[in-house]
Amino acid sequence: MSEPLVLGIETSCDETAIGIVRGRTLLANEIASSVEEHARFGGVVPEIASRAHLEAILPSIERAVNDAKISLRDLDAISVTAGPGLVGALLVGTASASGLAQGLGIPLYGVNHLAAHVSVDYLTHDLPTDPTIALLVSGGHSSLLRVDDITGSITKLGATMDDAAGEAFDKIARILDLGFPGGPAIDREARNGNPTAIDFPRGLTTSNDWATRPYDFSFSGLKTAVARYIESTPVNVRADVAASFQEAVVDVLLLKALAACKSSGIDSLVIAGGVAANSRLREVATERCAKAGIQLRIPNPGLCTDNGAMVAALGSLMVSAGRPATKGAFDADSSLPVERVALA
């Protein structure tokens, strides 16, 4: 089927998100977020997220179907995030999706949230000539991937050894009193600061690291360095700290992503996940990729953070590639590895 009509359901964290695509055309992208209910706790509270998903999911599906001007009966398939994520939150999505798919008598795809982040780029850019390198940077994960086929062949080249990039943004924002979620807040604050004011460490970039784990990341040393700097500097300039911290993260992410392109001989890079919305990451990536002759693809900022369009996009690609649907009733897998694009 070349232009399948697919509804995607995403409930892995604090967004109840529904996307509808026809082939690679986005028809609806409905997002209900419970982020404000979590803000006073400084992070996502799983029980609150699950309850919010239960309340939001049916009205969100209804709104998306109305936006797309389709009827549920027109759908060719449903896809749903099966993992990784918060198990209680995921279950709201998978239970709703299987009920809907069974009721409509259409195939259901239980797909990987991380692969979905990468696949959303296929909606806005021409199909990348596989293989491509993908830098996946979200609140829960940071990895460098080699994608030979987004519907079935993803190899992990490296990953963070401690915090995810988004998690580092969130933690530093808390130290700087910038609120939650921290990524967008640091992005804004950094615009008033000097990115070269403070030379914060770039994790895992010694010559030994390049020899032994070139594509892994570590942000814990950077986090400690920022905390120490703030404690020991009486008049610290918050904007300079935010800008210099952001610069260190952006620098190390791109150093490693471009090194992966170079050593694999792949001149295509996709950057995906919530942190890909970062304006400085987008800017520096554009400059460095142009210089290195690497074709860069980053989804629009609104499609970088969690959304349903990405889940629908991956579902649509699975259908078009003739991949088999997920069989029978299936459980969510809170720690689904990135190499498993979909459940069998």
Binding mask of the shown chain, residues 229 to 248, with x at each position contacting Zn ion by CB under 5 A: --------------------
Indicate which of ligand KG4, Zn ion, none lies near residue 183 (CB less than 5 to 8 Å, by partner kind).
ligand KG4
Q: Does 275 bind ligand KG4 (CB under 6 A)?
A: yes
DSSP element (H, E) containing 19: strand 15-22
Per DSSP, the three-state class of 174 is helix
- CA 69, CA 277: separation in Å to the nearest integer? 29
| Residues 6+ positions from 172 with CB-CB distance below 8 Å | 182, 186, 223, 226, 242, 245
Indicate which of Zn ion, ligand KG4, none lies near residue 34 (CB less than 5 to 8 Å, by partner kind).
none
Indicate which of Zn ion, ligand KG4, none lies near residue 4 (CB less than 5 to 8 Å, by partner kind).
none
Q: Binder to ligand KG4 among 6, 7, 9, 13 (CB under 6 A)?
A: 13
| Residues 6+ positions from 131 with CB-CB distance below 8 Å | 146, 147, 148, 264, 266, 268
Q: Does 187 bind ligand KG4 (CB under 6 A)?
A: yes
Binding mask of the shown chain, residues 161 to 200, with x at each position contacting Zn ion by CB under 5 A: ----------------------------------------
Task: Tell the smallest beta-carbon distance from residue 13 to Zn ion (Å).
Answer: 7
- CA 188, CA 279: separation in Å to the nearest integer? 9
Task: Pick between residue 225 and residue 250 the one whose CB is nearest to ligand KG4.
Answer: 250
Task: Tell the smallest beta-carbon distance from residue 167 to ligand KG4 (Å).
Answer: 6
Neighbouring C-beta atoms of residue 189, cutoff 10 Å:
21
Task: Tell the smallest beta-carbon distance from residue 184 to ligand KG4 (Å).
Answer: 5
Strands 25-33, 15-22: pairing kind: antiparallel
Q: Binder to Zn ion among 96, 132, 138, 268 (CB under 5 A)?
A: 138
- CA 270, CA 265: separation in Å to the nearest integer? 15
DSSP element (H, E) containing 207: helix 207-212
Q: Does 278 bind Zn ion (CB under 5 A)?
A: no
Q: Binder to ligand KG4 among 277, 289, 311, 312 (CB under 6 A)?
A: 277
| Residues 6+ positions from 181 with CB-CB distance below 8 Å | 35, 139, 166, 169, 170, 173
Indicate which of ligand KG4, Zn ion, none lies near residue 277 (CB less than 5 to 8 Å, by partner kind).
ligand KG4
Strands 25-33, 132-137: pairing kind: unpaired
Positions touching ligand KG4 (CB under 6 A) are 13, 138-140, 166-167, 169-170, 181-184, 187, 273-275, 277-278, 305-306
Positions touching Zn ion (CB under 5 A) are 138, 306
